[in-house]
Amino acid sequence: MRVGVFALQGDVREHLQTLSSLGVEAVEVRNRLQLDSVDGLIFPGGESTTMSKLIDIFNLRQGLLDFVGTGKPVFGTCAGMIILASEVLDSAAGQKSLAVMDISVRRNAFGSQLDSFESQVLFAGALTQVAFIRAPIVERVGQNVEVLATLEDGRIVAVRQGNLLATS
């Protein structure tokens, strides 16, 4: 399996290294040709406003929408969750998501960088240590969206809809 990491902005290197350590062929995706060559795609954490602008500057919006439509797996982490969401609460002026996942997310839901924290989350039956750094939360899920993980207080931090997976 060849997995692409959206490489115009964000935690690209970290995702590529993690995939490679798991024996997955991992490649950077910066254009339509590279996008068409992968079996799955990851939108990494980063800055969602910048990511949104770069999608349009590099004329990738339709290609990304077409890719999602193929049914191939797509995973959005942090800013990637925001990029996939159908509604972005507290969005920056002019920010556009791909609007492919029936969720409403709130950007920077936990506050500033100073408010970052780590927590254990029950995910796929296992307690997993995760970090929340200016992370979004899901405030609404559509009928076909499965909640995969919540914080102890009930805030939703991981969801799945068909071939789409998103985590805070």
User: What's the pTM value of the predicted model, to 2 decimals?
Assistant: 0.93
The domains located in the chain, with CATH, are 2-167 (3.40.50.880)
Tell me the mean pLDDT in the region 110-115: 65
Residue 111 has pLDDT above 70, yes or no: no
pLDDT band of residue 9 (cuts 50, 70, 90) is very high
- Between CA 70 and CA 83 the distance in angstroms is 18
Torsion angle of C-alpha atoms 20, 150, 67, 86, degrees rounded to 10: -150
Instruction: Say which amino acid occupies 29.
Output: V
